[in-house]
Amino acid sequence: MAQARKRRPMRDWNDLQFVLAVAQSGSFHHAAEKMGAHATTVARRVQEFERELNAKLFVRRAHGMTLTTAGKALVAKANEMEAVVSAVTNDIAGMDGQLAGVVRLYVSEGLGTHWVTPILGDFHRQYPDIALDVVTGSHAGNLLTEETDISITIVRPTDPRLVAFRLGMLGFSLFASREYLRRSGVPAAIDELAGHNLIYQAIHHTDQLFNWWQGIVDASDGPTFKTNSANFAVAATQTGFGIALGPSFYRKAIFDLVRLEIELPFDTELWMVSHEETNRSARVRAVGDFLKARFAQDRLWWQG
C-alpha cells in the first residue's frame, strides 16, 4: 500500500490574508486597494498560496473571481480560526484587567514567615479571587522569565526592564533566648561576643553586607549551629544554641527572643521589584499596592 505523502508546513500564512481579501472583494484590484498593495502582488501571493496547498482556490469569471469548492472550504475554516483567535484574545486581554488569578511572590524566609504571610490574610479578605503563590529560597525567582511577579529583596536590580520601589530600611539585630543569656551572660558590645556560641545562616555568605558577621563567627571558632534556613536559625536561637543575627522586627514578631542592646555596623535598603510588563496586570498591581501600604504602615518595624 502506498504511503501517504507527508505535507510540509505552510511557508507563509500571511498569504492567507490576500486570499481572504480576494474572496471578500471579488477581484485582485479591489483586494489590492484593501490591502494597500498592487494587484500584481495580490495575484502572485494568491498563486503562491495555491501552490503551497496544491489546490485551485479561485476561478476567474466575467464578473470577477469566484471561489472553488476548495476555496470555499478554506474560507470557512479561516473564519472559524478568526473567531477562535478573537475569543482567545478577548479572554486574555480581560485577564489582565481582572482582580483574579495567580500572583507569584518571592520573599526571604524570615520576612515571609514572620511578616508577609500574616498580613496576606488581610489581602485575601480584600481580594478573595487572587491566589498567592509565595516562594522563598536563597535567590529570588527570575522576574525577566516570569518565574516571579513580585520580589521583595535587599538587592536593587540594575536591569532597566525591572521596576524597583524602595520600601524602606531593614535593620538587623542580635538575638538570644533568655535561658542562653542566663547561662552565658549578656554581651554589651560586639567585642564581647568572643567566647559566645553563635548561630550562622548560610544566606549571610551570599551578600557582602554580612562579611563583618562572617568575620565574627570565624573568630569564634565557627558557629555552634549553622543552617540555610531562617526558621531553623530562629528555632535554634529559641532552644538556646546561642546568639543569632536577624531582622530587627523579630523583636516584635517573635516574643520569646531577647534583642541584645548592641549597635551593629549596618542596615540595608529593602526593595519591592517587579517587571514593567507584569505591572500592567490589575492583580499584580493590587498585590504591589497592598504591600507598599503595609510596609509604610509598619515602617517602624524595619529600623534597628
CATH number at residue 24: 1.10.10.10
CA distance 225 to 233: 8
At CA 87, angle to CA 84 and CA 91, rounded to 5? 140
DSSP for 238-298, written as a single string: HHTS-EEEEETTHHHH-TT-EE-----S-EEEEEEEEETTGGGSHHHHHHHHHHHHHHHHT
88 with 139, same domain: the answer is no
CA distance 301 to 250: 9
71 with 219, same domain: the answer is no
188 with 303, same domain: the answer is yes
CA distance 202 to 223: 11
165 with 289, same domain: the answer is yes
Per-block mean pLDDT, blocks of 10 residues, the chain (304 long): 48 74 86 84 87 86 84 83 63 64 90 90 93 78 69 84 87 94 93 90 72 84 87 94 92 91 84 85 91 83 55
> Could you tell me if residue 291 is inside a domain?
yes
* Amino acid identity, position 266: F
pLDDT at 35: 78
The number of domains in the chain is 2
Q: The C-alpha cell of 66 is what?
A: 469566484
pLDDT at 60: 84
Domain final residue, candidates 53, 78, 95:
95
> Could you tell me if residue 43 is inside a domain?
yes
Backbone phi, then psi, for 149, in 5-degree steps? Answer: -90, -40
180 with 242, same domain: the answer is yes
User: Which residues is 266 bridged to in the sheet?
Assistant: none
64 with 42, same domain: the answer is yes
Question: Domain of 261?
Answer: 102-304
pLDDT at 304: 45
132 with 51, same domain: the answer is no
Task: CATH number of the domain at 124, please.
Answer: 3.40.190.290
